[in-house]
A and B are shown apart, each in its own frame.
Chain A
């Protein structure tokens, strides 16, 4: 380990024993990583967590696999309940996979290492949609950017912006640096985002939220925004779209929405009684500009519809079932919806699975359509209701993308061409 200024970090006897290797070499490596990150974060101590969510199970190459295998081979196991993010494979619909066999083998091997270490094979980027999600004030170590924002902002659970390697290291030692978003101070709002100038009609629409998230992420960087003007009825799915988009265009890890999120009952609570460092007024022109940035084509034929980034919730799938009732997807278009296997089990229990299949919808679980080749060869552009998918798909998949509302996506799927309701975006 390289020489670093130790700073102010105080370790307990138990931590020191783990660092010495008394709990085995796998645990020792995990502790060394947690301690190095604690030093970077200038944490005074480590603190215990009640759960973890692991992003490292998605295959990005040999380094990630070498790391997981080293931990598992060295006997490390998680010490807190730990869920797993999406992987590169859909284990429930393996016939969809169109990638090379070698990547599939390595991906499956990587997934197996995390199961060996005792993680729950949930394979979802939306762990907040699982039955046993963390509650207000719980400290957790979550990776996956959209999940981090949701945990902090909507659940009021506390996680710093963790990434690969520290997620599993924290799960193994059951501790994280007591710093960053685990502390009261770091959770206070810094930048005021005023959306009261947006027509109320628009503020009710699902499609407004991802675009707002995109605007916020690009403007605030790593700062914590406080949104004023969202309706108190804003749904979890709407708030999830803000976080997912804001962590794509920027480094959003937490936001407050006054009257909506649990640490922002009032403006003063959100800012901790201080004044905003900056004020940002969002206009319809900003929203239309951000929406346009998500669209790379205006006249391409439609090939595919992709929904469910982050993984669709039961409520979102329910609305899709309603909108497709008695209708069928156009034969030239393929529709994919990504979701978690736990949500799919619930959907099947409600009898929606058959209706969706009959309408021409392909469900994808355990992974996502933009991180692994599961979509059939696409002729033409894609339409999506996800700002995150629209943001990353052009580079990841080499596709032209159109961003629209879920209604635009459904109407396009049925019509077999791109249909967008432009009145959605009017000033009035």
Chain B
């Protein structure tokens, strides 16, 4: 895929990486190990996979409001996705990225795309987000 067709930017920045399309939304708290970037939610179909360095495609947010802290910690440790692509805005996830940016100057862009665009992304393909 070339440049991603973005509907709205929630956290601005440029990123390129292999897409990881989540089959189900993931709660970062209780579902992601910040130290390793691995999915640890026993209920999640992609349990055990690593989200580190991916363009993580997750339609909506899920679960605990502690997700912001876990994401910020993963960004600090370098285990976070390189960017996230969502269908609906999720303030709890966005806040993890904002906090990491404010504290460490590390940017993890988050963009919204249409349902059609999202459906067209397959795991493993390279996705590029352009900073506008």
Contacts and interface: CB of A to CB of B under 8 A. Distances in A.
A47 to B, nearest CB: 16
A63 interface: yes
A143 interface: yes
B20 interface: no
A41 B88 CA distance: 11
A5 interface: yes
Interface in A1-18: 2-5
A5 B12 CA distance: 10
B95 A251 contact: no
B33 to A, nearest CB: 9
B119 to A, nearest CB: 17
A275 B40 CA distance: 39
Interface string A40-71: 11000000000000011010111110110010
Contact of B11 (A2, A60, A247): A2
B73 A63 contact: yes
Contacts of A29: 102
B64 A247 contact: yes
B117 to A, nearest CB: 19
B17 interface: no
Contacts of A395: 30-31, 40-42
Interface in A156-203: 160-167, 180
A179 to B, nearest CB: 10
B63 interface: yes
A394 interface: yes
A41 B65 contact: no
Interface size class on chain A is 35 or more
A162 B65 CA distance: 7
Contacts of A293: 43
A144 interface: yes
Contacts of B25: 221, 251
A165 B71 CA distance: 12
A36 interface: yes
Nearest to A36: B98
A61 B69 contact: yes
Contacts of A160: 91
Interface in B73-94: 73, 75-77, 88-92, 94
List of 6 A-B pairs having minimum Cβ-Cβ separation, nearest first: A163-B92, A61-B73, A163-B65, A164-B68, A63-B72, A60-B69
23 contacts: A36-B94, A37-B98, A41-B89, A55-B65, A61-B73, A63-B69, A63-B99, A70-B103, A143-B65, A163-B68, A163-B92, A164-B66, A164-B96, A165-B68, A165-B72, A165-B96, A166-B95, A180-B91, A221-B60, A251-B62, A391-B30, A392-B30, A395-B40
